[in-house]
């Protein structure tokens, strides 16, 4: 088995490991990301606060309106009781009744407005609760799926790392060091195949000598353009 082929197999193992590790990191990031859920919770809490405030305002408006009705009824009862009142007292009572009626109309308008606002906010609060439920449900389902994938990937990664160790064990340490250095310099891709007479990494056209050298089991051929190790199948 040529050294280049062994390095190519090592590169394949490392590329698979890189992809598995990258996916594991991506999965963990998604699992840790509670941005949407937190936003939905905050929105629901804010809606709840508005809901409670609006209903308290409506309750207060209802109380004030009811109290005003009672005052009006009591004043009207005194006016029409038939009890002896001086003309001035009767006039004062009539004026009081008129003022109470006018204020009652204002209070009823306030109550109506509070009722409309409370209904709108109740709808918004119900909607926020429903949306929170959907977000929670989607998050739980996604987490279950991702946790399953995470578990599978960990097993696959252990297998890949064992395979890599076996391949690396057959390669001289100096070549491993050279390979590792290239991996650092070339964003993880140290060994590339020759595709249609060109380097599959940078696309540079290779000479016949470059291609022949890549097939020589006694030497390591490098792409003259990008410096990666060439593997000619």
Q: For 183-195, what is each residue's pLDDT tens digit?
A: 999 999 999 999 9
Burial of 81 (0-12, 13-18, 19+ CB in 10 A): exposed
Instruction: Band the pLDDT of 85: cuts 50, 70, 90.
Output: confident
What are 55-81's pLDDT values in tens digits? 999 999 999 999 999 999 999 999 888
Please name which of 147, 72, 142 lies closest in space to residue 107, comparing C-alpha atoms.
72
Q: Note the Cα 233 to chain centre separation in Å.
A: 45
Please name which of 161, 171, 164 lies closest in space to residue 1, comparing C-alpha atoms.
171
What mean pLDDT comes out for the span 138-156? 98
Flag whether pLDDT at 118 surpasses 60: yes
Provide the pLDDT for residue 138.
Answer: 98
Burial of 215 (0-12, 13-18, 19+ CB in 10 A): middle
Q: Would you list the domain boundaries of the chain?
A: 34-168, 173-231
CB 140 within 8 A of CB 21: no
Provide the pLDDT for residue 1.
Answer: 54
Third-level CATH fold of 34-168 = Helix Hairpins (1.10.287)
Provide the pLDDT for residue 26.
Answer: 98
What mean pLDDT comes out for the span 77-102? 89
CB 7 within 8 A of CB 179: yes
């Amino acid at each position: 088995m040529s050294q280049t082929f062994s390095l190519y197999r090592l590169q394949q193992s490392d590329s698979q490991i890189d992809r598995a590790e990258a996916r594991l990191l991506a999965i963990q990031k998604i699992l840790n990301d509670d941005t949407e859920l937190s936003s939905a919770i905050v929105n629901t809490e804010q809606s709840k606060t508005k809901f409670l405030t609006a209903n308290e305002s409506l309750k207060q408006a209802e109380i004030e309106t009811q109290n005003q009705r009672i005052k009006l009824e009591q004043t009207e009862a005194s006016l029409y009781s038939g009890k002896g009142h001086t003309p001035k007292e009767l006039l004062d009572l009539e004026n009081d009744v008129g003022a109470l009626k006018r204020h009652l109309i204002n209070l009823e308008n306030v109550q109506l407005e509070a009722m409309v606002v409370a209904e709108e906010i109740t709808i918004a609060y119900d909607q926020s609760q429903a949306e929170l439920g959907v977000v929670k449900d989607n998050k739980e389902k996604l987490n279950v799926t991702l946790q399953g994938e995470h578990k599978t990937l960990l097993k696959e990664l252990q297998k890949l790392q064992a395979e890599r160790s076996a391949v690396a064990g057959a390669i001289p340490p100096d070549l491993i060091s050279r390979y590792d250095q290239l991996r650092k310099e070339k964003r993880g891709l140290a060994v590339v195949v020759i595709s249609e007479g060109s380097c599959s990494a940078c696309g540079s056209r290779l000479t016949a000598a470059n291609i022949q050298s890549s097939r020589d089991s006694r030497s390591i051929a490098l792409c003259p353009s990008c410096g990666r190790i060439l593997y000619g199948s």
